[in-house]
Amino acid sequence: MKKFKTLLAVLLMLTLTGLGQVSITIEAGPARDTISRHIYGHFAEHLGRCIYDGFYVGEGNKTIPNRDGIRLDIIDALKKLQVPNLRWPGGCFADTYHWKDGIGLKKNRPTMINTWWGNTTEDNSFGTHEFLQMCEMLGAEPYLSGNVGSGTPQELADWVKYTNHPNGSSPMPVLRQQNGRATPWGVRFWGIGNEAWGCGGNMTAEFYANIYRQYTTFMTSGGGQPLYRIASGANGGDYHWTEVLMRDIPKHLLDGVGVHHYSVIDWNAKGSATRFTDAQYFATMKQALRMEELVTKHSAIMDKYDPKNEVAMIVDEWGGWYDVEPGTNGAFLFQQNTMRDAMIAGTTLNTFNNHARRVKMANLAQTVNVLQAVILTEGNKLLLTPTYHVMEMYKVHQDAALLPSVITTPDFMYDNDKLPAVSVSASRDKSGTIHISLVNIDPGKSQELRITLNGQKISAVSAGRVLAAASIQAHNTFADPGRVKPMPFNGASIQEGALRLEMPPASVIVLTLK
Ligand code: AHR
């Protein structure tokens, strides 16, 4: 009876203080899987102000510092994220793009209409050379999305030869040399079309699998960089798509299978990026946390056809999608970015880290000025979004060994629905340092965490950082670019061998253990 009364008192106290109790166990023994740095990839499409008036401000621009038209403050900011790869030129745009329009003297390049994104005139001044130069400046690997929907196998095969074939007398490397690039770039990542089930051609999975086999047959590097070929993947929970691709495409032609998933509440009522209700916040997080289910179920199908884990899952589009900012072009997909987006980023990256065995690459949509961007620009001003800060805090996981974790967490409740409030992933880097990334998506409740390590004694918490704000709608503006930013976190202590800390509502914390 006495014990019961004590338990009751503790529960009452916790209810009054609003603290949830979270318990996490991390397996810190020898690790099996590595978290590929390519999980931290990005995506840049010829859409709205991502490339033009984003990454690329034009060669003649005298007001914004640039090299050959590529904006230098963006490069500097992205270098701090250690961007591992960048996907280009789309998206839906990729299946309308003819790469030969974007090479050679700029004055001779033809223009086209960007029919997917606002019927703007695309002058092709940013093409293959400009993109690959930008990747070199970033230290990122390029990921080229080939045109399957309106292109030909010859056109894609030629693009591979142009970028990858060693110098010689065949036409594509000769053309490359005439255009000023002597050595091949050695592009490894190639997407065979994009969203073939939709804007990439409205194909069936069966039809696309055959087309994929045809296109990849003619893609060769001519003894140069071996190719990593990625099939256009499923729309969210279309498991049939993955099943057919895994069943019908021979392994020697297939390195990765894509998946796209956006955290959108309702395609017909996406809601404001900044002025959203509690109900909309919950609905967005429900969509974001659905990534765990999607990755688990697509993995189960892949495991069936590929028990040796030779084909990777590539989540090459993910992120939050809302209404465009008032007064901006509806086709440009320019949206603000709040702490809600930080919650999406933190939980999604935890999912990818925890599924590192199968998920080898992912691309947040999109880097600059489009959807869940890490950078927004206005004229010569630039701001870093809450999503940028999460990406920067999480970069410690790149190429680190995954330490699997088990979590018991309270629910984040809304109406009669619930979601797990806290998510975690952990890794050990090459120097032996352990990093733990934590997200508390509950905007109304702090969480009290107890973390234990199996297989290693915790001797010290050497550093911690937290991203939190006064409200879940908090965001950075050009007038106030530093409102949301990571701060040092000194609230973790070691008690009886366990790590104890309190997580603020709607926060992301990354801890470093020695
Ligand atoms: O990222 C915006 C668009 O969303 C991409 O072009 C397309 O692939 C997806 O539907």
Distance 49 CA to ligand 1 centre (A): 14
Asked if residue 437 and residue 385 are part of one domain, the reply reads no
Which residue is catalytic, options 317, 378, 392, 448? 317
Our count of domains for the chain comes to: 2
Ligand 1: atom nearest CA of 198 is 10
Instruction: Name the residue with higher pLDDT: 88 or 4.
Output: 88
CATH number at residue 362: 3.20.20.80
Q: Judge contact between 439 and 350, C-beta under 8 A.
A: yes
Could you say which of 399, 414, 438 is where a domain stops? 399
114 near 46, Cβ under 8 Å?
yes
CA distance 57 to 51: 8
Identify the band that residue 169 occupies on the pLDDT scale cut at 50, 70 and 90. confident
Q: Determine if ligand 1 sits within 6 Å of the CB of residue 259.
A: no
Residue 269 falls within a domain, yes or no? Answer: yes
| Domain identity same for 440 and 462 | yes
Is residue 250 domain-resident?
A: yes
Tell me how many degrees the CA angle 371-372-376 measures, rounded to the nearest 5: 85
Residue type, 492: A
**Cβ atoms within 10 Å, residue 107:** 6
**Residue 317: active-site member:** yes
Residue 8 confidence (pLDDT) above 80: no
Domain check: are 208 and 93 in the same one? yes
Task: Yes or no: say if 463 and 512 are a contact pair by the CB < 8 Å rule.
Answer: yes
Catalytic residue among 122, 130, 141, 195: 195
Q: Is the pTM of this model over 0.85?
A: yes
Instruction: Report which residue type is found at 446.
Output: S
* CB 95 near ligand 1, within 6 Å: no
Q: What is the pLDDT of residues 206-226, one digit of tens each?
A: 999 999 999 999 999 888 899
Strands 498-503 and 493-495: antiparallel
Find out whether the beta carbon of 365 lies less than 6 Å from any atom of ligand 1. Answer: yes
Does the pLDDT of residue 20 top 90, yes or no? Answer: no
Average pLDDT, the chain: 95
Tell me, yes or no, whether 294 and 413 share the same domain.
Answer: no
Distances (CA, A) of 5 to 9, 10, 14: 6, 9, 14
| Closest CA to ligand 1's atom 5 | 91
CB 126 within 8 A of CB 106: no
Last residue of a domain, one of 373, 399, 425: 399
Cβ atoms of 445 and 20 within 8 Å: the answer is yes
What was the pLDDT predicted at 177?
95
pLDDT in tens, 51-75: 999 999 999 999 999 999 999 999 9
Protein residue with least CA distance to atom 7, ligand 1? 91
- Do 265 and 334 reside in the same domain of the chain? yes
- Percent of the chain with pLDDT strictly greater than 70: 96
Tokens 């967490």 correspond to 409
How far apart CA 298 and CA 372 sit, in angstroms, is 24
Does residue 495 have a cis bond before it (omega within 30 degrees)? no
Q: What is the mean pLDDT of residues 182-204?
A: 97
Longest dimension (CA), the chain: 89
| pLDDT attached to residue 458 | 86
3-state class (DSSP) for residue 122 = strand
pLDDT in tens, 87-115: 999 999 999 999 999 999 999 999 999 99
Shared-domain flag, residues 61 and 94: yes
Specify the DSSP class assigned to residue 356. Answer: T
Strand partners of residue 411: 420
The CATH number for 410's domain is 2.60.40.1180
- Asked if residue 282 belongs to a domain, the reply is yes
Same domain, 247 and 136: yes
Model pLDDT for residues 385-432, shown as the tens digit of each residue: 999 999 999 999 999 999 999 999 999 999 999 999 999 999 999 999
**CA nearest to 353, candidates 322, 320, 390:** 390
Summarize the confidence of residues 194-198 as an average pLDDT.
Answer: 98
Q: Are residues 365 and 443 in the same domain?
A: no
- What DSSP designation does 52 have? B
**CA dist list (Å): 40 to 208, 474, 486:** 28, 24, 19
Q: Decide if 7 is inside a domain.
A: no
The answer as to whether 41 is a domain residue is: yes
- Domain ranges, residue 485: 18-31+404-513
Write the residue with the smallest CA distance to atom 3 of ligand 1.
91
Q: How many Å apart are CA 216 and CA 253, to the nearest integer?
A: 6
Q: Which of 399, 419, 437 is the last residue of a domain?
A: 399
Give the pLDDT score at 18.
62
Compute φ and ψ for 455, nearest 5 degrees: 95, 0
Least confident of 32-46, 344-358, 410-424, 448-462: 448-462
d(CA 128, CA 74): 19
Residue 10 lies in a domain: no
Report residue 260 as tokens. 């796209």
Same domain? For 277 and 151 the reply is: yes
Return the minimum-mean-pLDDT range out of 2-11, 42-51, 177-186, 344-353. 2-11
The confidence score (pLDDT) of residue 107 equals 96
Please indicate, yes or no, whether residues 385 and 440 belong to a single structural domain of this protein.
Answer: no
Quick check: 22 and 343 in contact, CB under 8 A? no
Question: Cα–Cα distance between 269 and 279 in angstroms, integer?
Answer: 13
Domain assignment present for residue 260? The answer is yes
Shared domain for 387 and 449, answered yes or no, is: no
Dihedral over alpha carbons 220, 318, 123, 335 (to 10 degrees):
-170
Does the residue 13 lie in any domain? no
From 45, 47, 368, give the residue whose CB has the most ligand 1 atoms within 8 Å, as the site to mutate.
Answer: 45
Task: Please give the distance, rounded to the nearest whole angstrom, from the Cα atom of residue 92 to the centre of ligand 1.
Answer: 6
Domain shared by 481 and 506, yes or no: yes
